[in-house]
Structure 1
Amino acid sequence: MSNTARFLVSLQDDDTIVEVEANLEFRSLAALSRLPVAGGPASVAYSPDRRTIYVATRREPGITVFRAAAKDVQPEPLGRIVLTNDACYIGLDASGRFLAASYYRAGGVTIQTIDPGSGVPAGEPARYETHENAHMCRFSPDNRFLFVPHTGPNRIVRFSFDAAGAALTRLGEPVPFCRPGAGPRHMVFHPSGRFVFVSNELDSSLGLYRYAAESGELEFIDSYPTIPAGFTSPNTCAQIAITPDGGTVCVTNRGHDSLAAFAVGPAAAGAEAPTVRLIGRSPAGRVPRALCLAPDGRHVLTASQTDGTVTLHRLSGASVEPVAELAVGANPIWITPRYR
């Protein structure tokens, strides 16, 4: 495996995406190229084949599309669509034919077909009303369901997804349980496909759910605090990531200003859930929102909105610590791997 990893960091207030290289052996960071993206770039998603990059812009609502280029070559603009509302999160289904977007301010989720020739979303997006504060939209690993966590309403809305008809159908009972005041924001699937972890923004916790792949049901198991018991200042959790082996889950804390890392162990004999143990908390600058794992699963990059910095952290089963920091620009709001 390479000793370096590259990331794309959205600088919303600079109208730029900066490419950052992390040297994982010497624990250093360097800013490489800068890609202009008008309108306030935020959430970034790749097509499944990693040939196309989709960037949601929030100040000027829309999605700008680029063709991913070879290493050291800037992505090529392919087109842009204008949205009625600004999307806080975008993601593609497993086929790469449909783009889902969630809307924090306006509420709801949309599905839009991708033009196979240009790679740009085509036609009017189909809109599905949910609630305000729709913070994310994530397809299930088998592409049969779409999940939309909502912070303020404190619920996770589930849809079945019909890829043939490009349609969503909202699922009713059983409604996934959320602890009162939890505020589910983002979620990730465990590689086993049996569990889901949720970043709970409002009560600063990591939620664990059992996942039934056949029905799309989520059964609450437990939650774990992301901040120390004695910390009384305001804090909200933001993004979440899980290592490829499922052994570590990371969540950013805004207020405590840290990256919380949890070890996930196999389920004990006779148990129906994995063990979850706090590894530690690593300082992450002021108001760390975004995070992204390096391909080795042993390093993670966070971005601090107030500082305008990114921090590289080293993960192990026993500790998590910051090892490098780099100033990148104004309001770094999203990080994604640079795949090509």
Structure 2
Amino acid sequence: MPTPTPSPDELLVFTGSYTPDTGGNGAGLAAVRFAPKTGSLTDEPRVSPVPVSGASFLAAHPSLDVIYSTNESDTGAVSAVVRQDEEVLSPLGAPVSSGGANPCHLTVHPDGHWLLTANYGSDTMPGSVAVHRLDTDGRICELTDVAVHEGTGPVAGRQESSHAHQVLVTPDGRFVLATDLGADAVFTYRLDTGTGRLQRIAVNRTRPGSGPRHLAFAPDGAYAWSADELSSTLTCHRYDPDTGTLAEVSRVPATTVPDVANQPGGIVASPCGRFVWVTNRGADTVAAFRVTGTSLQPIGEVPSGGIWPRGLALVAGHLLVANQHSGTLAVLRVLPTGALSRPAPAAHVPSVVCTLAL
């Protein structure tokens, strides 16, 4: 986004949280200040919160001062907010139907013309991926397609139907991938950038009961790592740029903490390609891994600075950890080895689940 940060020593970090109408006690879309030199956060208001309902994931337009948010509920919607200057956020139109239930992730196509949303689904509605056209000012316009997922898995109570959890454009820009926790699959699509329609290219099956949640690509795009929520593993997949398909090559446990029911959440790969980090909900840690060929080697894990760490973002040499149940946003410094420092005092952000640094 073109607006400069407030100062060279400070970044504005937008936070998304569940609101009272969606089972949380957060403000929706808010902001904190982050000082990379010291690793400190302050929740002293710089930007007035915007009451976006169920703001469970945020994404930025590639060239406009516009932020997009999911509105996670059974009557799913997506919202756009325009950043008018450093300290003023205003809704850009009314929320628009997401085309499905419980939207939990979204991304803007690199050309800036399309918003892609992953709808988790509900008891009565399967998971899906939706496409909206974006106007020249970033406003969300008509729904151009909804690709409904099919499939189930063996985990009772979690995999009775499909549950899309993430949608992203591959690093080469050729394909759209959508993870599906309920179907144990990653769906490959091609987006027609003239019509906004999705063409399904492949269904990449993952191990039964793995529940792929989020993907993070290696910088060169050759591999992608998945955080597998239901099997508490990280899987390395080889990406084929000609077909848009993924093939498993290795996997490792997401945590070394014994005797804990654990669900990996956010996953991040380093820009240098040497490290991968993941949040562990249950163990309440962030684990660090070294990339060795096509395998991940555990470096260690540290406390997440709260309870139920969900969102994870790499910002200026630090990891920002959104601890949902404790309502804390913690900072971990990334050491040259890829290991992590223990968290400093965290900022209080009720029901925080995601961040977006600008």
What's the TM-score, normalizing by structure 1? Answer: 0.89
2:175 aligns with 145
What is the distance in 2 between the residues matched to 1:114 and 1:253? 35
Note if contact 1:27-1:323 (Cα within 8 Å) is conserved in structure 2: no
Residue of structure 2 aligned with 1:23, choices 19, 29, 35: 35
Q: How does 1:98-247 map to 2 (within 5 A)?
A: 98-105=114-121, 106=125, 107-116=127-136, 118-131=137-150, 132-172=162-202, 175-228=203-256, 231-247=258-274
1:293 aligns with 314
What is the distance in 1 between the residues matched to 2:279 and 2:95? 31
Note if contact 2:67-2:80 (Cα within 8 Å) is conserved in structure 1: yes
What is the distance in 2 between the residues matched to 1:289 and 1:325? 18
Deviations 1:300-328 (A, max 9, x none): 01011110001100112152122323242
Q: For structure 1, which runs of at least 5 residues remain unmatched after alignment? A: 268-272
| 134-143 or 77-86, larger mean C-alpha shift | 77-86
Note if contact 1:88-1:104 (Cα within 8 Å) is conserved in structure 2: yes
Amino-acid identity (%): 25
Note if contact 2:312-2:319 (Cα within 8 Å) is conserved in structure 1: yes
Deviations 1:33-52 (A, max 9, x none): 34222322221111111521
Go from structure 1 to structure 2 and tell me whether the alpha carbon gap of 1:127 and 1:221 turns closer, same or farther (over 3 Å shift). Answer: same
What amino acid is the match of 1:5? L
Q: Secondary structure at the match of 2:342?
A: strand
Q: Secondary structure at the match of 2:53?
A: coil
1:5 aligns with 11
2:156 aligns with none
What amino acid is the match of 1:245? C
2:54 aligned with 1:48, yes or no?
no
2:276 aligns with 249
Give aligned pairs, total.
Answer: 324
Q: Secondary structure at the match of 1:137?
A: strand
- Say what the alpha-carbon RMSD is for the aligned residues: 2.0
Q: For structure 2, which runs of at least 5 residues remain unmatched after alignment? A: 1-6, 20-25, 151-161
What amino acid is the match of 1:21? R
Residue of structure 2 aligned with 1:66, choices 61, 81, 94: 81
1:278 aligns with 298
Give the Å deviation of 1:27.
Answer: 2.9
What is the distance in 2 between the residues matched to 1:70 and 1:311? 26
Note if contact 1:102-1:136 (Cα within 8 Å) is conserved in structure 2: yes
